[in-house]
Structure 1
């Protein structure tokens, strides 16, 4: 965040506590038992289930829904968690509308899919509420593995390795584990400190030790970890934020959207979080949508997302875009920032219209300005702190197979590595698969 002072327009307490409690309450309340059984009964239990193929963690969706339908939700939870140990969070934040539910036969035939995400939440929440952990550790192997990063990829990797009987040390830069689940997801999607509850539940497997405030390259080196451990998994995410490259972006109240979201999630009193009257968000992904929606929920009067390409190129799903517009966020497409104006702090943002051509994105001469007392940058993050010697590809750690890097004995997954989309569920799958590969490599060594 800029060190410049806040302008009078960026203030806390725009809304009373009662309104904030309602705005930031659970936006998709969980099913009760009757609702879950009714929803489960809509499933055709397809033998060749397209929903299962569309799930990055390959959960047996027809099986777990059948288990709910037959009154055994704890068995359903075990089916889910055996493939995705963070199934509770994924049930809340997965873009199911573009994954499993998009290819549901009911969606294709009727335009209304089986509510797979909500059914998954019903099952996993029920088991977690009992304080039950469905898995136990194998006999100790005597092997030790270091995991750098306590986000979805790192935690999934650590859990699977602990299940296999290995001892795992997890090193993370922040004060709390969870990564983007704790610091980067809209507050209303994971209420009541669910991210930490899930971490504590996951650690019930045993054999995992967390070390906070530890940064690779500052507090330890990759060579140290290679010396002290039998294998290393890197899942430290992306810490850098791309610049606008527009004159004036150093002005006050020009804020990284990820920093705003993290601050809001950690705020004990949301009324104390300052927000502008006229907020502009630059970007087209989920971070942009989350920053914009939450600005509106905090009481901003005018919130506008501006994206440099057409709507079809936005990485935020159509469902999330529609949710944003439903709460009053305006979305402008095909415009790029060219200057940030103001005296000390941002007062206006100037944009130029864009056009997609065969040669790439073209900036057109026509410009317009938006009034803004707060500007959020949500234009992507970059890799920082990658150890020397690791091969990079496209600005990320290059991996092959199940997360193997160019350095023997070192694996990587999640946002810092090449692989799938930047989703919690994809990161979990990469951490889990890397753990299986690490286990096989350690077993082969004897």
Structure 2
């Protein structure tokens, strides 16, 4: 692999360690106490706050900002964490600019919202830095629940169930917990190993046992889990990757963007991570932006995001699009992959211009070629390894409002389940709400 990498222009250490460190520093630096007080002073503390309605976890935003204003950051953190136990990570990765901050009255009046995300981070970091866990377990119920998948939905469900007195075993296919928070989010959004530290902090509630290297379908069966536990919660994410369906997809230098981001997140030394000189990312969501921006930060000279529809249809928010552009990433719209060219390794990608009619994308026949020694696929993921017994809705597990599946005693949430947007904050809400419904069901 190394020789073909070198032949195709994919190489490590395009930038020195100092350059990499600067590029991958915190995207939104943390507030200090004075900055947080000044930011909190801008809140109107609206009675029927539109920011709360816009938050998928329904955090009482005016309340926690008032607590920060009064100098009680730890109380503010508890207000946040009661609704969103992963409030620290959500403060870092949530698209607040299209959720709570977009709904902020200050945004409507002045075009500058209260910086709710950074205030939330200030509160939760203050509490976590003291090693404090603000919740205690209820008396043991004698009931046990299996959670499959240690991503945001699974962790939120496990914490709430443990807090209510149930014993929880969390299975995960990986060697560590966190799911997308640990493996799938850009490194500059979650620095200093925060995802792992947040998991350790969450587990302080007690009553949760972690069991790694166990995958549904390979190591675990739904029937086995149902017979061994009083309830099962599935938060298995989307592990399958869609194909480009273009000739040359098997060439060296063409790979899955999620795999690249995971490798980057787990690397001890980013100067050892190879990246191309000319990188093209196929897709239009957050994963595409994260892969493209990080390629640029690693030292790639030319990075392009190629998306088959127009700008307004992109899954990535306008803030993310602008972030990519500010880092030197070129955005191309209305193009789709036609072929990857090169002798064994990718050298060029051929894109076909598209048109959209009645919501359907089709090629126009006109093509363009870009130099591309590295091509990342970020065109969506699919469910992998889910049991046949479960009814699907589209390509996800069909669930009701509280996460109940078509199989009695089995709930599901997060990216693998139908409904909500594929966001960390939505997954947390789904895990929390499923846990409450599981508790009601178990306790009669």
Q: Is the TM-score greater than 0.5? A: yes
Equivalent-residue separation in structure 2 for 1:222 and 1:359 (angstroms): 38
1:319 maps to what in 2? 319
SS at match of 1:366: strand
Q: How does 1:190-269 map to 2 (within 5 A)?
A: 190-269=190-269
Does residue 1:156 correspond to 2:156, yes or no?
A: yes
Give, in angstroms, the shift of residue 220 of structure 1: 1.7
**Secondary structure of the structure 2 residue equivalent to 1:141:** coil
Alpha-carbon distance, 1:360 to partner: 1.7
Find the aligned partners of 2:306 and 2:114 in 1 and give their Cα distance: 33
State the distance in 2 between where 1:23 and 1:128 align. 26
Please give the secondary structure, in 2, of the residue aligned with 1:401: coil
Q: Which moved more, 1:405-414 or 1:356-365?
A: 356-365
Alpha-carbon distance in 2 for matches of 1:68, 1:419: 34
- Post-superposition CA distance 1:278-333 (Å, at most 9, x none): 00000000000000000000000000000000000001000010000001000000
Per the alignment, in what secondary structure is the counterpart of residue 81 of structure 2?
helix
- The corresponding residue for 1:144 is 144
Aligned residue for 1:102, secondary structure, equals helix
Partners of 1:200 and 1:295 lie apart in 2 by: 30
> Residue 338 of structure 1 aligns to a residue in which SS?
strand
SS at match of 1:27: coil
| 1:81 counterpart = 2:81 | yes
Q: 2:350 is matched with which residue?
A: 350
Match of 1:169 in 2: 169
Going from structure 1 to structure 2, the CA distance change for 1:430 and 1:359 (only over 3 Å counts) comes to closer
Tell me the distance in 1 between the aligned counterparts of 2:102 and 2:27: 20
Indicate conservation of the 8 Å contact 1:4/1:253, yes or no: no
Correspondence 1:54 to 2:54: yes
Q: Deviations over 1:190-224 (max 9, x none)?
A: 00000000000000000000000001111121101
What corresponds to 2:5 in structure 1?
A: 6
User: How far apart are the structure 2 equivalents of 1:115 and 1:212?
Assistant: 37
TM-score (norm 1): 0.98
Query: Which residue number corresponds to residue 288 of structure 2?
Result: 288
CA distance in 1, matches of 2:92, 2:318: 17
Q: What is the deviation of 1:435?
A: 0.1
**Matching residue of 1:102:** 102
Q: How many residues were matched structurally?
A: 443
Q: Secondary structure at the match of 1:321?
A: helix
TM alignment of 1:389-404, pairs within 5 A: 389-404=389-404
Question: What is the RMSD computed on CA atoms of the aligned residues?
Answer: 1.0
Look up the SS of the partner of 1:376 in the other structure: strand
For residues 300 and 406 of structure 1, what CA distance do their matches in structure 2 show? 47
Give, in whole Å, the separation in 1 of the partners of 2:400 and 2:347. Answer: 47
1:417 pairs with 2:414: no
Give the superposition deviation at 1:3: 10
1:114 is paired with a residue whose SS is coil
Q: Distance in 1 between matches of 2:21 and 2:347?
A: 30
The CA deviation string for residues 111-163 of structure 1, in whole angstroms up to 9 with x for no partner, is 00000000000000000000000000000000000000000000000000000
Query: How much does 1:359 deviate?
Result: 6.4
Structure 1 stretches lacking a partner, 5+ long: none
CA distance in 2, matches of 1:4, 1:334: 35
What SS does the corresponding residue of 1:245 show, helix, strand or coil?
coil
Please tell me whether residue 117 in structure 1 is matched to residue 117 in structure 2: yes
In structure 2, relative to structure 1, the CA distance for the partners of 1:390 and 1:3 (3 Å cut) is: farther
Q: Distance in 2 between matches of 1:71 and 1:208?
A: 33
Q: Which consecutive segments of 4 or more residues in structure 1 shift more than 3 A? A: 2-5
Distance 1:219 1:329 in 2: 41
* 3-state SS, counterpart of residue 191 of structure 2: coil
Q: Secondary structure at the match of 2:127?
A: helix
Which position in structure 2 is the counterpart of 1:430? 430
Give per-residue Cα distances to partners, 1:395-425, cap 9 Å, x unaligned.
1000012000000000000000102000000
1:379 matched to which residue of 2? 379
State the distance in 1 between where 2:27 and 2:224 align.
45
For 1:43-65, what per-residue CA distance to the aligned partner results, in whole angstroms no more than 9, with x for missing partners?
Answer: 00000100000000000000000
